[in-house]
Amino acid sequence: MANALIAHNRDRDPRELTPIATKGEGQVGILQFADVPHEARRIAAVVDHLINKLGYHPGEILILAQRRTIGNPIHDELRARGIPSKSYYQESELDSDVAQERVAMLKLFVNRTDRVALRWLVGLGSSDFRTGAYSRVRAYCEETGDSPWDALAKLADGTLKLPYCQQLVARFRAINNELRFLEEHGDISNFVDRWLRAEFVGAGELRLLVARLVAQAEAPEDLLSLMIEEISQPEILPDVTEVRIMSLHKSKGLSSPTVVIAGCVEGLLPAEPEDATPVDREAILEEQRRLFYVGVTRVKADPTSNRPGMLLMTGSRTMSLADAMSSNIKPARQRFGVVDVHLSRFITELGPTAPAPKAS
């Protein structure tokens, strides 16, 4: 399966993995669920069965998901079952909506071309994430070459008119007003006071993180870099006593008898780059295929315990619009705050030895 997958990459050395009989047998399953909550519950049930029925140790189970929108529900389901688990995502610092909004605002302050932060912020507070209005802005950008920020700025100052965009523009004006307020800061401490004002209740964990880092920063961009490093690269010990939940990036160098790759849907694996040239798109796709290859090859059998290596790959058919937007997924279809998504193309690239996906 790994050989079939990576063979789709043209930019690689022509070599293959070779099966070694003494390494033991392997089992593979591919499951598709109705939605992300069902996916999380079923994965937790599988883990529960492995630990409490088959005698697996929690540290022998590795769960990989590219976004916390997939990983956190699994973590919650495991904790609800009393299964020891540890998440290596952005941890508790960004669990609250308030904290996520503040970090998105910081990213946009540092870089107005951060389209993910801009898209998330202008959609916030709307049940449909202002999808219709934003799609009209994106269509205008594709015709003219303007960036979404520039197009929204033109709408805000009246030099551009697009139908049914009033609420989107009002939201953009509010965001831009805050950015101007933040620009008037003095030193970094004053910036933090403006950015993390007392009115933002629910950002307590984020405040503690910032308090630890602010002395090392001279400017907002320094603070952002320190935060990203702190929350995206936590120390991962090789000897663990819990089920580990992390991104595929963090799994490099690790192995486990049981590996679950969750969230195997288009838009996450692979992610969809915005405004990339065809050459860049191909390069990005190949890099993400290599990343999926890393995940597939994390599983390692334990012949001494007569346990096969177990690889489970899962995906959902739908997810909430908010989760799709925060993960930068372009949905196949949207209705009433729910979007349709498709299984990752990487699943079909695993070749004829891979089992057919099963609906569950």
- Measure the CA angle with vertex 284, ends 289 and 37; round to 5°: 60
Q: Where are the alpha helices (DSSP H) in the chain?
A: 2-6, 36-52, 68-80, 97-110, 115-123, 131-144, 148-157, 166-183, 188-195, 204-213, 220-232, 278-296, 321-326, 345-348
Higher pLDDT, 162 or 300: 162
Q: Are residues 338 and 210 in the same domain?
A: no
Q: Are residues 77 and 22 in the same domain?
A: yes
Select from 185, 207, 232 the last residue of a domain. 232
Pairing of strands 26-35, 309-320: parallel
Residue 37 confidence (pLDDT) above 60: yes
* Contact assessment for residue 2 and residue 292, using Cβ atoms and an 8 Å cutoff: no
Q: Are residues 70 and 111 in the same domain?
A: no
Q: Extract the tokens encoding 175.
A: 């965001």
Question: In the chain, how many domains are there?
Answer: 2
Instruction: Give pLDDT, residue 90.
Output: 52
- Residue 245's pLDDT band, with cuts at 50, 70 and 90, is very high
Q: Are residues 175 and 290 in the same domain?
A: no
Q: Are residues 107 and 214 in the same domain?
A: yes
Residue closest to 314 by CA, chosen among 4, 25, 63, 78: 63
The CATH number given to whatever domain includes residue 102 is 1.10.486
Average pLDDT (337-344) is 90
Domain that holds residue 217: 93-232
pLDDT tens digits, 294-306: 999 999 887 777 7
The CATH number given to whatever domain includes residue 79 is 3.40.50.300
Compute the distance between CA of residue 42 and CA of residue 45 in angstroms, rounded to an integer. Answer: 5
Average pLDDT (14-40) is 88
Select from 202, 232, 262 the last residue of a domain. 232
- Range ranked top by mean pLDDT from 20-29, 180-189, 227-236, 297-306: 180-189
- On average, the pLDDT of the chain sits at 88
* Contact assessment for residue 188 and residue 78, using Cβ atoms and an 8 Å cutoff: no
Q: What is the DSSP string of 304-343?
A: GGTB-EEEEEEEEEEEEHHHHHHTT---SEEETTEEE--B
Average pLDDT (329-344) is 83
Instruction: Give pLDDT, residue 234.
Output: 52
pLDDT tens digits, 68-90: 889 999 999 999 999 999 888 75
Select from 205, 232, 259 the last residue of a domain. 232
Compute the distance between CA of residue 240 and CA of residue 41 in angstroms, rounded to an integer. Answer: 23
Q: Are residues 284 and 200 in the same domain?
A: no
Q: Are residues 263 and 178 in the same domain?
A: no
Q: Are residues 199 and 301 in the same domain?
A: no
